Amino acid sequence: NANYTALTPETLSTRLVALPAVTERLGTDAESWQVKEVGDGNLNLVFIVQSDQGSIIVKQALPYVRLVGDSWPLPLYRAYFEYHALTRQAARDPGTVPEIYHFDEDQALIVMEFLSPHVILRSKLIAGEKVDDLGAFCGKYCARTAFRGSELSMTSADKKADVGLFAGNVEIPAITEGLVFTDPYFEAELNNHTPELEPVINELRNNIELKRMAQVMLTKFASNTETMVHGDLHSGSIMATQSEIRVIDPEFAQYAPLGFDIGMLTANYLMAYFSQPAHRGTDLEAYQDWILSVITECWSSFEAEFRHLWNTERTGMLFPKSLFEDQGHSSETACDGVLADIWQDALRFCGIEMHRRCLSLAHNADFETIEDTTVRAPLEARNLQMGAELVLKTDTLKDAKALIALARTFNAR
Ligand code: SR1
Ligand code: MG
């Protein structure tokens, strides 16, 4: 974009004061606005802009990966896909994403609702705070966005048009293809890991079946366009108060398998669980139990909501009522089969995400904030070894109860 210029806290007010969507909320006295750059993610600039009349968030893409610097260029057009993802998520699960006030494609910026007093869920999990109905919210969100973005709900033509639109987003999925599915399993240039993990890592990287399955799942991720996924659904992409929850940052949105988001999210809850011994004192066991209850609740809500939508909103090209209900036939077994496939895929995506957050480029604060590596390494090792089991022994895990039991076993090692 020839006209693109990255905003700074100094230039933002002057540049945005001409926008009605902004002045409507902040007033026109731009000199009195307070601007703070708060981006702590890996890619973008994020500003909170406040006046005595209101507040907004301004998110702007940078032409490179912020975490790495300008040696890794990244197209600005990702803001366009984030904007379109947000509009679809708002339609598919109303009230779960921030409201968009303005989108400027040339400047790769989105002006949106400032969520306050919400904070990033990951920091709440590290601090040992609970969020009411977190699992139910996440399960419903994953089920609604998955179902309503698929041909179970959409017409074949609408779905194909949308897959075509998102197919223009090339470099962002490529990040996931490399960092998530490939780099953890060899000594990739940008990798880093806790030194004490070497023996466990050698075991993983020498496991040909594990590497094969990671590539099988990469094939699914890259080629199976079942639904529009958030694409980066972790506890850093959720903001919450004790009782209000929103999903943010869908710039990694693409069409991908139905089980991708819930699998990645489950991994992030499991990593929160495994890291807790370094963050908690006497309340450790109770808080770990609560995290596991979030996973259970997430999966039971996902299944209940998916079945509900199956029965009430199945209007797309797949499993049409004309083949089942209209013929007096039950489609329950067909729904069971779709859910079973989602479960299997999700477990494998989950295991791979558990690996990449300890082995590849972008780690998470749950483990990274444990400064003493002799404390961190054994906790990461539990996480890595359970991840391998999820990828390799998927068939042995029938339901969320079995998943939780497995997590408890690894946590006791
Ligand atoms: C270079 S980007 C690294 C990671 O940050 C994003 O949040 C995604 O998780 C991506 O994999
Ligand atoms: Mg993000």
Q: Count CB atoms within 10 A of the CB of residue 31.
A: 8
Ligand 1: which atom is nearest the Cα of residue 68? Answer: 1
What is the CA(194)–ligand 2 centre distance, in A? 23
What is the spatial distance between Cα 313 and Cα 307, in angstroms, rounded to a whole number? 10
What are the tens digits of pLDDT across the range 185-216? 999 999 999 999 999 999 999 999 999 999 99
Q: What residues are in contact with ligand 1 under a 6 Å CB criterion? A: 41-43, 65, 67, 175-176, 179, 232, 361-362
With the most atoms of ligand 1 within 8 angstroms of its CB, the residue from 40, 46, 179 to mutate is 179
- Judged by its nearest atom, the ligand closest to the C-alpha of residue 230 is 2
Ligand 1: which atom is nearest the Cα of residue 234? Answer: 9
- Give, using CA atoms, the residue closest to atom 5 of ligand 1: 42
User: ipTM of the assembly?
Assistant: 0.98
Question: What HEC string does 162-178 produce?
Answer: HHHHHCCCCHHHHHHHH
With the most atoms of ligand 1 within 8 angstroms of its CB, the residue from 40, 42, 72 to mutate is 42
- Give, using CA atoms, the residue closest to atom 4 of ligand 1: 362
- Give, using CA atoms, the residue closest to atom 8 of ligand 1: 232
What is the spatial distance between Cα 224 and Cα 411, in angstroms, rounded to a whole number? 34
- Judged by its nearest atom, the ligand closest to the C-alpha of residue 236 is 2
pTM as predicted: 0.97
pLDDT score of 1: 77
What are the tens digits of pLDDT across the range 16-61? 999 999 999 999 999 999 999 998 888 999 999 999 999 999 999 9
With the most atoms of ligand 1 within 8 angstroms of its CB, the residue from 71, 78, 175 to mutate is 175
* Domains present along the chain, CATH in parentheses: 12-113 (3.30.200.20), 119-411 (3.90.1200.10)
What is the CA(250)–ligand 2 centre distance, in A? 7
Q: Count CB atoms within 10 A of the CB of residue 69.
A: 9
pLDDT score of 44: 94
What residues in the chain have per-residue pLDDT under 70?
Answer: none
Burial class (CB in 10 A: 0-12, 13-18, 19+), 232: buried
What is the CA(260)–ligand 1 centre distance, in A? 15
* One-character DSSP codes across 39-104: --SSS-EEEEEE-SS-EEEEEE--SEETTTEEEEE--TTHHHHHHHHHHHHHHHSTTSSPPEEEEE
What is the spatial distance between Cα 63 and Cα 4, in angstroms, rounded to a whole number? 9
